[in-house]
Chains A and B, each alone.
Chain A
Amino acid sequence: QKEVEQNSGPLSVPEGAIASLNCTYSDRGSQSFFWYRQYSGKSPELIMSIYSNGDKEDGRFTAQLNKASQYVSLLIRDSQPSDSATYLCAGQMKTSYDKVIFGPGTSLSVIP
C-alpha cells in the first residue's frame, strides 16, 4: 500500500460547482497534511496545511482531516477554469517523520 494515495483523475466539474479532491494515507500516526496546486509545467504552490481533525477554510478552499479514517480532502467552492491544475496531497508520516510524502496528484479540469 502506498503511503499517500489519490485518484489520478481527471476529475471534471462545471464552472461554479464544488470540486472534491480526496486523499488517503497509510500511517495512522501521521501528523501534518498539505495540499498543493501544480499548473502544467510549473512548480507546486501551497494551498493550505492542516494538522487537526476537522475543517479548515481559506477563501474558496476547505481542507478536511479525519485521522480515524486516515482521510484528507480538499473542497473547492465556486470552481473556476483557473482552478484547472493537478492537486497534490502530502503528509508528514510518523514512520518517516523528517520527510513529507507526496501523493501522485489528482488532475482537475473545470469546464466553462
Chain B
Amino acid sequence: DGGITQSPKYLFRKEGQNVTLSCEQNLNHDAMYWYRQDPGQGLRLIYYSQIVNDFQKGDIAEGYSVSREKKESFPLTVTSAQKNPTAFYLCASSPQRYGTQYFGPGTRLLVL
C-alpha cells in the first residue's frame, strides 16, 4: 500500500530528553513537511524539505531538528530546548515543490 506512515502513534518525553518522530513515505514524493497542531489551533510549519539533503526552517523551528538523508524519510527530533512540546505532530508529503500535500496519521507527543 502506498502512503505516509508516522511512528509512534503516542510518544512520551521526560524533562530534558530528546525524542525523534519518524515519518516515511513510499509515494516517491519529492517534498516533505512537518507541522505542529495544538488543541483548537491550526497547523504551524516546523521544517520542510524539497529535496534530499536539503531542508528549510518553517515558522516555528526553534527547539526542533530534522534530516533528509533519503527521499523516503524525514525524521523530526524534538530537543530539550523545546520547552512546550506537547502537541499533535503531522508529517506531510507532496509530489512536487508546490503541489498538494498529503498527511500521515500523526504522532501525539506528551510530556511526563
| Chain B nearest Cβ from A29, distance in angstroms | 13
| Contact count A vs B, C-beta below 8 Å | 42
| Chain B nearest Cβ from A62, distance in angstroms | 18
Interface size for chain B: under 10, 10 to 19, 20 to 34, or 35 or more residues? 10 to 19
Give bound CA distance, A97 to B50, whole Å. Answer: 12
B43 within 8 A of A: yes
A1 within 8 A of B: no
Contact B98 A42 (CB under 8 A): no
Partner of B50, one of A31, A43, A88, A98: A98
Interface size for chain A: under 10, 10 to 19, 20 to 34, or 35 or more residues? 20 to 34
| Chain A nearest Cβ from B112, distance in angstroms | 21
Contact B100 A34 (CB under 8 A): yes
**Closest residue to A34 on the B side, CB-wise?**
B100
A73 within 8 A of B: no
Partner of A43, one of B42, B58, B105: B105
Give bound CA distance, A83 to B15, whole Å. Answer: 39
The residues of A that contact B90 with a CB separation of less than 8 Å are: 43-44
Give bound CA distance, A18 to B29, whole Å. Answer: 35
Quick one: CB contact mask for A86-104 with B, threshold 8 Å, 1 for yes?
0010101000011110111
Contact A99 B45 (CB under 8 A): yes
Give bound CA distance, A46 to B90, whole Å. Answer: 14
Partner of B103, one of A44, A97, A98, A103: A44
**Closest residue to B104 on the A side, CB-wise?**
A43
| Chain B nearest Cβ from A15, distance in angstroms | 25
Within 8 A of A (CB), among B74-112: 90, 97-98, 100-106
Contact B48 A102 (CB under 8 A): no
The residues of A that contact B104 with a CB separation of less than 8 Å are: 43
Interface set of A (CB-CB < 8 Å, partner B): 31-32, 34, 36, 42-46, 49, 88, 90, 92, 97-100, 102-105
